[in-house]
Structure 1
Amino acid sequence: MSAFPGRVVEALRLTSLRMRLVVVFALVALIAAAAASGIAYWINRDAVLTRAQNAALNDFRESLGDHAGSLPHRPTCDALRDAAGTMANSTQRYEVVLTDRQGDGRACEAASDPDFTLADVPAELRTAVHEKRPVDASNPAPYHLYWQRITLFGEPYLVGGATVIGDGPTGYMFKSLAPERDDLNSLAWSLGIATALALVGSALLAQAAATTVLRPVQRLGDAARRLGEGRLDTRLQVSGTDELAELSRTFNGAAEALEKRVAELSAREESSRRFVADMSHELRTPLTAITAVTEVLEDEVDSLDPMIAPAVRLVVSETRRLNDLVENLMEVTRFDAGTAKLVLDDVDVADQVTACIDARAWLDAVELDADRGIMARLDPRRLDVILANLIGNALKHGGSPVRVSVRTRKSTTGAAGEDELVIRVADHGPGIPEEVLPHVFDRFYKASASRPRSEGSGLGLSIALENAHIHGGGITAENAPEGGAVFTLRLPRDASRVAPDRDGDGGGAGVDADTGTDEENER
Structure 2
Amino acid sequence: MTRPSFHGLRLTSLRLRLVVVFALVALTAAVSASGIAYWLNREAVLTRTQDSALKDFRQEMQNRASSLPLQPTQSELQTAAGRMAASSNPGYDVLLVGERAKGKPVIGYSDLDAFTLTDVPRRLQEAVAKQQKVGSDEHSAYHLFWQRVTLHGTPYLVGGTKVTGGGPTGYMLTSLDQERQDLSSLGWSLAIATALALIGSALLAQAAATTVLRPVQRLGDAARRLGEGKLDTRLRVSGTDELAELSRTFNKTAAALEEKVSNMSEREEASRRFVADMSHELRTPLTAITAVSEVLEEEADSLDPMIAPAVQLVVSETRRLNTLVENLMEVTRFDAGTARLVLDDVDIADQITACIDARAWLDAVELDADRGIMVRLDPRRLDVILANLIGNALKHGGSPVRVAVRIDGGDLVIAVQDHGPGIPEDVLPHVFDRFYKASASRPRSEGSGLGLSIAMENAHIHGGDITAANAADGGAVFELRLPRDPVDPADPDRDGQEGGAS
TM-score by length of 2: 0.92
Identify if the C-alpha distance between structure 1 residues 495 and 141 changes in structure 2 by more than 3 Å, giving closer, same or farther.
closer
Alignment of 1:256-271 (within 5 A): 256-271=255-270
Asked whether the equivalents of residues 491 and 497 of structure 2 are also in contact (C-alpha less than 8 Å), the reply is no
Question: Which residue in the other structure is 1:366 paired with?
Answer: 365
Identify if the C-alpha distance between structure 1 residues 198 and 141 changes in structure 2 by more than 3 Å, giving closer, same or farther.
closer
Question: Among 433, 444, 468, which residue is 1:442 paired with?
Answer: 433
SS at match of 2:210: helix
Alignment of 1:233-312 (within 5 A): 233-312=232-311
Aligned partner of 1:256: which letter?
A
Comparing 351-360 and 81-90, the one that deviates more? 81-90
**Distance in 2 separating the partners of 1:187 and 1:289:** 108
Once the two structures are superposed, residues 1-48 of structure 1 have per-residue CA deviations (whole angstroms, 9 ceiling, x without a partner) of xxxx9xx9xx86798122122222222222222222222211111111
Comparing 114-123 and 248-257, the one that deviates more? 114-123
Question: Which residue in the other structure is 2:375 paired with?
Answer: 376
**Distance in 1 separating the partners of 2:13 and 2:441:** 56
Question: Among 71, 86, 92, which residue is 1:94 paired with?
Answer: 92
Identify if the C-alpha distance between structure 1 residues 91 and 81 changes in structure 2 by more than 3 Å, giving closer, same or farther.
same
Q: Using CA pairs under 8 Å that are at least 6 residues apart, name the structure with larger relative contact order, 1 or 2.
A: 1
Once the two structures are superposed, residues 243-300 of structure 1 have per-residue CA deviations (whole angstroms, 9 ceiling, x without a partner) of 2222221111111111111111111110001000000011011111111111111111
Question: Which residue in the other structure is 1:74 paired with?
Answer: 71
SS at match of 1:347: strand
Question: Which residue in the other structure is 2:480 paired with?
Answer: 489
Aligned partner of 1:77: which letter?
Q
2:331 aligned with 1:332, yes or no? yes
Identify if the C-alpha distance between structure 1 residues 128 and 240 changes in structure 2 by more than 3 Å, giving closer, same or farther.
same
Asked whether the equivalents of residues 341 and 504 of structure 1 are also in contact (C-alpha less than 8 Å), the reply is no
**Distance in 2 separating the partners of 1:407 and 1:296:** 45
Asked whether the equivalents of residues 344 and 500 of structure 2 are also in contact (C-alpha less than 8 Å), the reply is no
SS at match of 1:108: strand
SS at match of 1:408: strand
How many angstroms does 1:390 deviate by? Answer: 0.9
Asked whether the equivalents of residues 386 and 464 of structure 1 are also in contact (C-alpha less than 8 Å), the reply is yes
How many angstroms does 1:101 deviate by? Answer: 3.2
2:107 aligned with 1:116, yes or no? no
Question: Which residue in the other structure is 2:221 paired with?
Answer: 222
Question: Among 7, 11, 14, which residue is 1:17 paired with?
Answer: 14
**Distance in 2 separating the partners of 1:87 and 1:104:** 27
SS at match of 2:363: coil
**Distance in 2 separating the partners of 1:236 and 1:87:** 85
**Distance in 2 separating the partners of 1:139 and 1:323:** 120
Identify if the C-alpha distance between structure 1 residues 344 and 110 changes in structure 2 by more than 3 Å, giving closer, same or farther.
farther
2:422 aligned with 1:431, yes or no? yes
Structure 2 unaligned runs (5+)? none
2:22 aligned with 1:28, yes or no? no
SS at match of 1:495: coil
Aligned residues: 491
Asked whether the equivalents of residues 95 and 113 of structure 1 are also in contact (C-alpha less than 8 Å), the reply is no
Aligned partner of 1:32: which letter?
A
Identify if the C-alpha distance between structure 1 residues 192 and 133 changes in structure 2 by more than 3 Å, giving closer, same or farther.
closer
How many angstroms does 1:94 deviate by? Answer: 1.8
TM-score by length of 1: 0.88
Question: Which residue in the other structure is 2:105 paired with?
Answer: 107
Identify if the C-alpha distance between structure 1 residues 452 and 205 changes in structure 2 by more than 3 Å, giving closer, same or farther.
farther
Asked whether the equivalents of residues 125 and 148 of structure 1 are also in contact (C-alpha less than 8 Å), the reply is yes
Comparing 103-112 and 249-258, the one that deviates more? 103-112
- Identity, % of aligned pairs? 73
Comparing 428-437 and 57-66, the one that deviates more? 57-66
Comparing 14-23 and 186-195, the one that deviates more? 14-23
How many angstroms does 1:449 deviate by? Answer: 6.2
Comparing 281-290 and 297-306, the one that deviates more? 297-306
**Distance in 1 separating the partners of 2:325 and 2:369:** 34
SS at match of 1:457: coil
Identify if the C-alpha distance between structure 1 residues 355 and 502 changes in structure 2 by more than 3 Å, giving closer, same or farther.
farther
Question: Which residue in the other structure is 1:420 paired with?
Answer: 411
Comparing 14-23 and 35-44, the one that deviates more? 14-23
**Distance in 1 separating the partners of 2:444 and 2:417:** 25
SS at match of 2:487: helix
SS at match of 1:271: helix
**Distance in 1 separating the partners of 2:191 and 2:453:** 73
SS at match of 2:362: coil
Question: Among 45, 48, 54, which residue is 1:48 paired with?
Answer: 45
**Distance in 2 separating the partners of 1:450 and 1:362:** 25
Comparing 334-343 and 237-246, the one that deviates more? 237-246
SS at match of 1:501: coil
**Distance in 2 separating the partners of 1:48 and 1:300:** 127
Asked whether the equivalents of residues 463 and 487 of structure 2 are also in contact (C-alpha less than 8 Å), the reply is no
Question: Which residue in the other structure is 1:202 paired with?
Answer: 201
**Distance in 1 separating the partners of 2:219 and 2:285:** 56
Over the aligned positions, Cα root-mean-square deviation in angstroms equals 2.6
Comparing 19-28 and 443-452, the one that deviates more? 443-452
